[in-house]
Amino acid sequence: MIALPHTGRVMKATNLNMSSAKQEPLDDWLQAVGSIACQQSYAKLFKAVSGRVYAFLLKQQNDPSMAGEVLQETMLKVWQKAALYDASKGTAITWIYSVARNTRYDYLRRNKHQSQWFSADDIWSQIEPEKDGIDEQFEPIVAEQMSHLIDKLPELQSDVVRRVYLHGQAQQEVADEVGVPLGTVKSRLRLGLRRLREMLDEEM
């Protein structure tokens, strides 16, 4: 539960079913929060996305206590930074997931639990919202955004990232088709995903 800013009202994280989620004007609510600090829009936005964000965070760390704390920080940042949201760069839900991802990084750094090293799969899981029953309707949006960013990578990196994460090829399969060692594919993938994360941070 989280207190709604400036009201003392307590909001509880909730999930929405697929049919109602399709009708949610998330972008409008977020823009209203950013432009006029509309508490009613924030309450609607909170109810619509808090359950999804909590599920996303819980899958990353499998720690309900940590997920709850990071959710609170995330939704507070959404209230405080909503004016920074630019609809021309992506949807509201994608922006909120980015806030949650960065808030989780900050939390882990503060608590000294974040590893200095990360795998390609770990990076991608941070970039892409969880593909559970709640968020399946957002997969085309995420794929479109990722494809746009992947196009900005160096050609060798973009080819490997696209093959593995958009086309679902195994890394060894990519190595065989491209004609390079598996280690080269892993290196290109790691560098490409690192740059993707940087570009996502820049777009926030």
Whether residues 158 and 203 fall in one domain? yes
Whether residues 63 and 125 fall in one domain? no
Which residue, 69, 92, 114, sits at the end of a domain? 114
Which pLDDT band holds residue 24 (cuts at 50, 70, 90)? low
Alpha carbon separation from 202 to 89, 99, 183 (Å, rounded)? 11, 12, 29
Per-residue pLDDT, 203: 59
Whether residues 104 and 173 fall in one domain? no
Structural domains of the chain, count:
2
50 closest CA partner among 23, 25, 17, 15: 15
- Give this prediction's pTM: 0.52
96 closest CA partner among 64, 49, 35: 49
Domain that holds residue 25: 1-114
Whether residues 141 and 191 fall in one domain? yes
Whether residues 101 and 128 fall in one domain? no
Which residue, 64, 90, 114, sits at the end of a domain? 114
For residue range 138-184, what is the model confidence (pLDDT) as tens digits?
Answer: 444 445 567 778 888 899 999 998 888 777 788 888 999 999 998 89
Residues 146 and 127: beta-carbon distance below 8 Å: yes
Whether residues 65 and 124 fall in one domain? no
Residue 13 has pLDDT above 60, yes or no: no
Whether residues 1 and 51 fall in one domain? yes
Whether residues 135 and 98 fall in one domain? no
CA distance 42 to 114: 31
For residue range 69-97, what is the model confidence (pLDDT) as tens digits?
Answer: 999 999 999 999 999 999 888 889 989 99
Q: Work out the angle between the directed axes of helices 39-61 and 92-110 (0-180°, nearest 10).
A: 60
Per-residue pLDDT, 71: 92
Tokens, residue 72: 């609170």
CA distance 66 to 189: 29
Q: Quote the mean pLDDT of the chain.
A: 75
Whether residues 110 and 154 fall in one domain? no
Q: What's the CATH number where 175 sits?
A: 1.10.10.10
Average confidence (pLDDT) over 56-60: 82
Whether residues 101 and 127 fall in one domain? no
Q: Identify the residue with better confidence: 105 or 154.
A: 154
The total of other beta-carbon atoms located within 10 Å of residue 194's CB is: 13
Per-residue pLDDT, 43: 92
Per-residue pLDDT, 73: 93
Specify the range with the lowest mean pLDDT, choosing from 61-65, 77-81, 109-113, 183-187: 109-113
CA distance 47 to 13: 6
Whether residues 108 and 124 fall in one domain? no
Strands 10-11 and 2-3: antiparallel
Whether residues 3 and 91 fall in one domain? yes
Which residue, 82, 97, 114, sits at the end of a domain? 114
Q: Percent of the chain at pLDDT above 70?
A: 69
- Residues 110, 116, 119, 123: is their CA dihedral positive or negative? positive
